[in-house]
Amino acid sequence: MPDNSKKIVIIDYGMGNLRSIFNKFRRMGFVSEISSDPDIIKNADKLILPGVGHFAKGKENLDERGIINILNYKVLSEKTPIFGICLGMQLFSECSEEGDCKGLGWIKAKTVRFRIKDKTKYKIPHIGWNTVNIVNRVGIDDFLTDDDYFYFVHSYYVQCNDTADVWMTSWYESEFTSAIKKGNIFGTQFHPEKSHDAGFKLLKKFIEL
């Protein structure tokens, strides 16, 4: 049976796909809570920052809901494990070309738009299934192989300054960072909640850390 003594909070900042992650945890047997309440976030053992949409709007929503300070405290001071998904991961970076906006700055990186040359073969946004190459294994990925596929929907990706922060890469005309990891900070550009067994196991191992 899953260990439900850990409090899992899915952060609600109005940027979508919260229910699919909540339902994924429920199917795994984990109890989670969707919230934007700083007091609830403060008591979390594990944090999930999902998101789809515009970077600047996501940062604005975090600010307007008063979530940034408690996130900085939890992640940077308490070292609470956090998992960012898609836009959630991008917000970990220092800034983005999308809206020319500053991010949370937890990772020395910039969120940039794909520069595609062959626009007939490689459409933007990048939508669909793709494999990953694990650059720096972090423990919760010990089951993954080069044959595992994950689901992507994005036009931007995170470009890290330090290769040590690159967890996984993928290929879409050229190599791009598809997952990052720094200490207690995890992030994937792909959607593990939509990626069948491989995504299921990755989220499960994160919660069981």
Give the distance from CA 157 to its chain's centroid. 11
Confidence of residue 147 (pLDDT cuts 50, 70, 90): confident
- What value does the mean pLDDT take over residues 142-167? 96
Structure token digits, residue 111? 């969120």
Tell me what pLDDT residue 3 has.
72
Q: Is the peptide bond before 50 cis (omega within 30 degrees of 0)?
A: no
Question: Model's pTM, two decimal places?
Answer: 0.96
pLDDT exceeds cutoff 80 at 63: yes
- What value does the mean pLDDT take over residues 153-161? 98
**Residues 130/169, Cβ–Cβ less than 8 Å:** no
**Residues 47/75, Cβ–Cβ less than 8 Å:** yes
Instruction: Please give the positions annotated as active site.
Output: 86, 191, 193
CB atoms within 10 A of CB 207: 21
Confidence of residue 2 (pLDDT cuts 50, 70, 90): confident
Tell me what pLDDT residue 119 has.
93
Q: b/e string for 169-199 if b means 16 or more Cβ within 10 A? A: ebebeeebbbbbbbebbbbbbbbbbbbeebb
Output the CA torsion sign for 38, 68, 109, 102.
Answer: positive
**Residues 101/59, Cβ–Cβ less than 8 Å:** yes
Of the candidates 162, 159, 161, 195, which has an alpha carbon nearest to the alpha carbon of residue 178? 159
pLDDT tens digit string along 65-96? 999 999 999 999 999 999 999 999 999 999 99
Percent of the chain with pLDDT over 90: 93
pLDDT tens digit string along 95-126? 999 999 999 999 999 999 999 999 999 999 99
Domains and CATH numbers, the chain: 8-207 (3.40.50.880)
Confidence of residue 1 (pLDDT cuts 50, 70, 90): low
